[in-house]
Structure 1
Amino acid sequence: MNQQSRTTGTLNDLIAIARDGQEFYQDASTRIDDVELKSLFTRIAGTKATIIAELGAAVQAVGGDPEDSGTLRGSMQEMYARVRAALGDKEYSYVAELEESEDRLLHAFEDAVKDDSTPAAARSVVTRLMPEVRACHDLMRARKHAMKGAS
């Protein structure tokens, strides 16, 4: 596999996982009643859209086609969250599942940075976007723990 293909593959994997998160946040924002959480979910969906756009631009810069869909795992997690929310605390269920989605994206970014086979072009954009990914992750983790402690 050549450098361009590895760069495209690495970044497209991250795009698909970030797209899962973006779609999940958008969906969750329409299913909950808490105004503050709606606003938070909408804001994070926007952050995911920015991450997807920047990763996509990096894919195009090396001559590739950016991924335009999410993953089966992401779709299944979103469906599970809906079921979980229907059976219990709706807001907490979405926050907990979104935090899991954040874990998945953060680990994928960390793996891309640590992997010696990640091309320099991919590593550069991933490293640049890592603070935003980590901030979203930490925000949702803190929100989940705060909600868990309040119940």
Structure 2
Amino acid sequence: MSDSNTSNLADIVQVARDSAEFYDHARKEVTNPIIQNLFARMAASKRRLIEALSTRILLEGEQPPESGTWLGGLRQFYADAKAMVASNDEAVYVSQLEETEDRVMEQLEKALEDIQDPAVRTSVLTVMPDARASHDEMRRLKQQLAA
């Protein structure tokens, strides 16, 4: 695997890990059981993506990243602070989590532009439908809560 392929997959894994950890955190902060279940399902979806792409990285002889990014932690802190003063903390978390979905999709799309290796591209294409569905679901929920 080229360094570019490894780098692209590692970037996706890190951003997805940020997202999964943020969903887990937000699930504990909200009180609506429907939103809690949604956040748990979204975190599980991100863990499946992490597992799939980490497996591809390992198959290519590299080690997948074990942590997220500093930006992911900062986003959680920001959401917590904003939720403390907001009248609807669920809307705050949904809005911030939808932005993490944007980051995941941006990394996946960037990888598809950059990666030439067919096996690596297939790994990315395999996780795209679930990632797109998660992204779209969070966008719809964000729009509903804003209305």
TM-score normalized with structure 1 length: 0.92
| Partners of 2:91 and 2:103 in 1: CA distance | 18
1:19-67 CA deviation, whole Å, 9 max, x = no partner?
0000000000000001100000001101111110001000000111011
| Partners of 2:14 and 2:120 in 1: CA distance | 15
Match of 1:32? 30
| Partners of 2:65 and 2:4 in 1: CA distance | 14
Match of 1:47? 45
| Partners of 1:118 and 1:91 in 2: CA distance | 40
Q: 3-state SS of the aligned residue for 1:9?
A: helix
| Partners of 1:119 and 1:71 in 2: CA distance | 26
| Partners of 1:108 and 1:8 in 2: CA distance | 13
- State the one-letter code of the partner of 1:47: S
The CA RMSD over aligned residues, in Å, is 1.1
| Residues 4 and 63 in structure 1, CA contact (< 8 A), matched pair in contact too | no
Q: 1:140 aligns with which of 133, 138, 141?
A: 138
1:83-136 CA deviation, whole Å, 9 max, x = no partner?
111110200000000000101111111111122x55333221111111011000
TM-score normalized with structure 2 length: 0.95
Structure 1 runs of 4+ with >6 Å offset: none
| Partners of 1:73 and 1:119 in 2: CA distance | 29
Match of 2:70? 72
| Partners of 1:133 and 1:61 in 2: CA distance | 22
Fraction of identical pairs, as percent: 34
The answer to whether the aligner puts 1:130 opposite 2:95 as a matched pair is no
- Which 5+ residue runs of structure 2 have no aligned equivalent? none
| Residues 16 and 69 in structure 1, CA contact (< 8 A), matched pair in contact too | yes
Aligned residues: 146
- State the one-letter code of the partner of 2:103: R
| Partners of 1:56 and 1:129 in 2: CA distance | 12
Q: 3-state SS of the aligned residue for 1:95?
A: helix
- State the one-letter code of the partner of 1:69: S
